[in-house]
């Protein structure tokens, strides 16, 4: 009987350990909101954030946040009579995006570092990931401009970083 009770206790502890994820939706929601607020205030144009940030916890991997935005507002075909862009508009759009891209990357790095601090229950060896999809129109010249930027780092490395250079060194960046 004593052996049976020990097995029951061990099984219930194992079930409890499996049932409780390190992070819950309620823990990720404030981080999502903070990323959205930062993206919304990044530039002085309205309607640049196209999709609200969403977080997803992957057990034994970490937390992944994703969002979609435009780097600048651009008209679509048939928007208030717009039918086709001029050469100047194509060049201006590309140049403005090239200027804004480093600003976006800086904001992403700072949001990764902030998320690492805010997500206290995330194990230190797990990752914090932020992916931003960048919207483009079919008429744009996207040469040299990524459609998506993904930054990731181990939480412990972000927590140990004490300045912008150390944060940048801790982060792995991929552009697609």
Q: What is the pLDDT along the chain (176 residues), one digit of tens a residue?
A: 555 445 455 555 555 455 577 899 999 999 999 999 999 999 888 778 998 999 999 999 999 999 999 999 888 776 777 778 999 999 999 999 999 999 999 999 999 999 999 999 999 999 999 999 999 999 999 999 999 999 999 999 999 999 999 999 999 999 99
Rounded to 10 deg, the angle between the 87-118 and 25-40 helix axes is 140
Q: How many CB atoms lie within 10 A of CB 94?
A: 17
Judge contact between 56 and 64, C-beta under 8 A: yes
DSSP-assigned beta bridge partners for residue 172: 152
CA distance 32 to 11: 35
Q: What is the pLDDT of residue 8?
A: 53
User: 38-67, pLDDT tens digit by residue?
Assistant: 999 998 887 789 989 999 999 999 999 999
Instruction: Indicate the pTM of the whole model.
Output: 0.85
β-strand pairing of 127-134 with 172-175: unpaired
């Amino acid at each position: 009987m004593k052996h049976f009770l020990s097995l029951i206790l061990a099984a219930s502890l194992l079930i409890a350990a499996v049932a409780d994820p390190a992070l819950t939706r309620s823990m990720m929601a404030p981080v999502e909101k903070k990323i959205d607020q930062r993206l919304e205030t990044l530039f002085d144009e309205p309607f640049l954030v196209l999709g609200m940030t969403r977080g997803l916890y992957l057990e034994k991997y970490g937390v992944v946040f994703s969002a979609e935005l435009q780097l600048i507002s651009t008209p679509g075909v048939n928007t208030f009579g717009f039918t086709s862009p001029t050469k100047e508009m194509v060049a201006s759009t590309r140049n403005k995006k090239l200027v804004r891209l480093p600003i976006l990357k800086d904001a992403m790095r700072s949001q990764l570092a902030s998320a690492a601090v805010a997500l206290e229950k995330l194990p230190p060896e797990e990752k914090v990931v932020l992916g931003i999809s960048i919207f483009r129109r079919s008429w744009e010249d996207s040469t040299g401009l990524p459609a998506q930027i993904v930054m990731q780092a181990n939480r412990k490395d972000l927590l140990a970083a004490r300045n912008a250079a150390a944060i940048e060194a801790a982060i792995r960046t991929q552009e697609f």
